[in-house]
Amino acid sequence: MTYCVGMRLNSGIVFLSDSRSNAGVDHISTVRKMTVFERQGDRVLVLMCSGNLAITQAVSHLLAEGSGPENLWTISSLAKGAELVGEAVREVHRRDGASLQQFGLEFNCSFILGGQIRGEDCRLFNIYSAGNFIEAHAENPYFQIGEFKYGKPIIDRVVKPETPLDVAAKCALISMDSTLKSNLSVGMPLDLLVYERDSLRVSKYATITADDEYFNTIRNDWGRELRKVFNQIPNPNWEALPTQESWPVFERQIRSQDQ
């Protein structure tokens, strides 16, 4: 399993992915989940993946080869890029789907594609195992794939289209830390890329390891402040809570001590 998140904001896009791949506790390895297609002054496309590693790598190889007349280096819109990713997913399914099913394996993959091509605005897409996709919008400016449930609440509370890129990057790292804390199938190092709108080049990228000072500051401070706020919230006031008469009707059975 993995965890990837992409956030489309007014000022650009934030991408973050982990790099753990596991096929059981005895088969854990490090595999990059982020691929960057960059031609400075023309396009920056970032592809992140989650799911069966053999499937996602097969899709990524098809996209990287770009043998057809239309590929990620020639398309003029991100929407067409999402279509190409979907077509590559369906091609791998046509080739390998029946064999996977024969061995009881699910065809499981998902992708986030985002960035900017000269002539259009920043865009962000989520592509599913069937090859279909959706685009991020102002009401829902981010996508997560993989083991996302632990890192979702902080993003829902913080990230809006107007959120500054560095604030969103911090939020993404806190979201990742929450996931790392609760799920062993997600692991470091992390790949963090912040794309600034209309720059058409990668200017902010970092590989974050377990001994990274800033990430460990986030981890320690976030945990400490959460506990501090938690302890400041009063315990339930049973006198102010609903009385028995106001509860929904239910069957209550009581047995005396001498029965």
Cα separation, 148 vs 221, in Å, equals 22
In a domain, 123, yes or no: yes
pLDDT beyond 60 at 23: no
Question: Any idea what the CATH number is for the domain that residue 63 is in?
Answer: 3.60.20.10
In a domain, 248, yes or no: no
Per-residue pLDDT of 41-55, as tens digits, reads 999 999 999 999 999
Report the range of poorest mean pLDDT among 26-30, 106-110, 205-209. 26-30
Per-residue pLDDT of 72-129, as tens digits, reads 999 999 999 999 999 999 999 999 999 999 999 999 999 999 999 999 999 999 999 9
In a domain, 59, yes or no: yes
Mean pLDDT of 143-155: 94
pLDDT score recorded for residue 249:
64
pLDDT score recorded for residue 243:
66
pLDDT score recorded for residue 6:
98
pLDDT beyond 60 at 27: no
- The DSSP-derived string for 15-62 is EEE--EEESSTT-EEE---EEEEEETTTEEEEEEEEE-HHHHHHHHHH
In a domain, 257, yes or no: no
Work out the pLDDT band at 259, boundaries 50, 70, 90.
low
Work out the pLDDT band at 185, boundaries 50, 70, 90.
confident
Report the range of poorest mean pLDDT among 127-131, 162-166, 187-191. 187-191
pLDDT beyond 80 at 239: yes
User: Who has greater pLDDT, 259 or 225?
Assistant: 225
Per-residue pLDDT of 126-145, as tens digits, reads 999 999 999 999 999 999 99
In a domain, 236, yes or no: no
pLDDT score recorded for residue 245:
64
In a domain, 179, yes or no: yes
pLDDT score recorded for residue 21:
73
Give 128: exposed, middle or buried? Use CB within 10 Å, 0-12, 13-18, 19+: middle
Cα separation, 165 vs 168, in Å, equals 5
Token duo for residue 146: 């993989």
pLDDT score recorded for residue 240:
83
Domain count within the chain: 1
To the nearest whole percent, how much of the chain has pLDDT over 70?
90
Domain with 76, as residue range(s), is 3-231
In a domain, 38, yes or no: yes
pLDDT score recorded for residue 248:
65
pLDDT score recorded for residue 20:
81
Token duo for residue 96: 């390998």
Chain centroid to Cα 226, Å, comes to: 23
Which residues 6+ apart lie within 8 Å of 204 measured at CB?
Answer: 193, 194, 195, 196
Helix/strand/coil percent split, the chain, to 5 = 35, 25, 40
